């Protein structure tokens, strides 16, 4: 009898939970929203649940061709986000999670050729990018930029400001970073290098020894064959 009582108790709880969930779903206010161009064509279609976007959302060119297709969960972008050229070719594909762009985002030309890949971490921060030209990585120095990531830009007096340093669109397998006067790259290149977290990431650690706004400057060096390229940077942080 005890076994049967336990079985019926579990079954009753499950039925109760099913009823509650069903009532919650029935009480949700779902609304289909359609926007129109002055010409009468559909401009956008979306669905709201309890006043927040939820589900598939689409936007259209005035010609009627699909422009954007996205997905929302409880008001936040979630899943693939695709932008189209009016010709129907894909312009950009990104991925979102709880409103943050994550994983990889790709930008295409109207002929389908890949132009840029951007990489994001789980917090939505861009961690690297690659630019392409004629189907291969574009190694023009003008396409590269120093990328600095810090947990906070405000530190207490006596603490350390910490960040990691990378070079976007790098082609070399490794980079080196030196802190100092950027007006003489050749001399600075001979100075001590920052420690590396991995082959593409340097660790910046500066002690906050005075109150107020401070800044640190340096150069990221990239060696491709016999060519040494220098990319200066400056990073500011506040000491309280």
Domains of the chain by range and CATH? Answer: 30-138 (2.20.110), 142-239 (2.60.40.1930)
pLDDT confidence tier of residue 165, bands split at 50, 70 and 90: very high
Q: Average the pLDDT over 234-239 and give the result.
A: 93
Q: Strands of 212-224's sheet, edge to edge?
A: 154-155, 227-239, 212-224, 175-179
- Write phi, then psi, for 46 (nearest 5 degrees): -155, 165
Separation of alpha carbons 38 and 49, rounded Å: 27
Separation of alpha carbons 24 and 4, rounded Å: 30
Separation of alpha carbons 176 and 201, rounded Å: 9
pLDDT in tens, 73-106: 999 999 999 999 999 999 999 999 999 999 999 9
pLDDT at 171 over 90: no
Residue with tokens 């990691």: 164
Residue with tokens 């990889």: 104
Q: Average the pLDDT over 202-231 and give the result.
A: 89
| Whether pTM exceeds 0.85 | no
DSSP 89: -
| Residue 108 CA: distances (Å) to CA of 103, 195, 230 | 17, 36, 29
pLDDT at 9 over 60: no
pLDDT confidence tier of residue 175, bands split at 50, 70 and 90: confident
Chain mean pLDDT for the chain = 86
- Cβ neighbors of 194 (< 8 A, separation 6 or more) are 165, 176, 177, 178, 179, 202, 203, 204, 218
Question: What local confidence, expressed as pLDDT, does residue 6 receive?
Answer: 47
Q: Average the pLDDT over 196-200 and give the result.
A: 84
Residue with tokens 């003008």: 142
Q: Strands of 160-168's sheet, edge to edge?
A: 145-150, 160-168, 201-207, 196-198
Question: What local confidence, expressed as pLDDT, does residue 27 receive?
Answer: 59
Question: What local confidence, expressed as pLDDT, does residue 25 receive?
Answer: 47
pLDDT confidence tier of residue 238, bands split at 50, 70 and 90: very high
């Amino acid at each position: 009898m005890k076994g049967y009582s336990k079985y019926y108790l579990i079954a009753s709880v499950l039925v109760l939970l099913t009823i509650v969930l069903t009532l919650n779903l029935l009480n949700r206010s779902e609304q289909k929203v359609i926007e129109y161009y002055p010409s009468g064509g559909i401009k956008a279609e979306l669905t709201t649940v309890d006043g927040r976007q939820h589900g598939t959302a689409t936007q259209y060119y005035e010609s009627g061709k699909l422009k954007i297709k996205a997905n929302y969960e409880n008001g936040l972008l979630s899943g693939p986000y695709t932008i189209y050229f009016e010709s129907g070719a894909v312009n950009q594909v990104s991925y979102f999670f709880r409103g943050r762009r994550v994983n990889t985002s790709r930008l295409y030309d109207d002929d389908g050729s890949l132009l840029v890949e951007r990489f994001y971490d789980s917090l939505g921060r861009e961690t690297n990018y690659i630019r392409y030209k004629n189907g291969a990585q574009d190694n023009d120095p003008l396409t590269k930029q120093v990328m600095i990531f810090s947990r906070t830009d405000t530190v207490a007096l006596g603490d350390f400001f910490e960040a990691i340093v990378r070079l976007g669109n790098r082609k070399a397998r490794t980079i080196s970073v030196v802190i100092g006067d950027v007006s003489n790259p050749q001399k600075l290149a001979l100075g001590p290098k920052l420690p590396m977290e991995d082959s593409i990431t340097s660790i910046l650690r500066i002690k906050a020894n005075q109150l107020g706004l401070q800044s640190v400057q340096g150069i990221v060096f990239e060696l491709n064959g016999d060519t040494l390229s220098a990319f200066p940077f400056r990073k500011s942080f506040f000491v309280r």
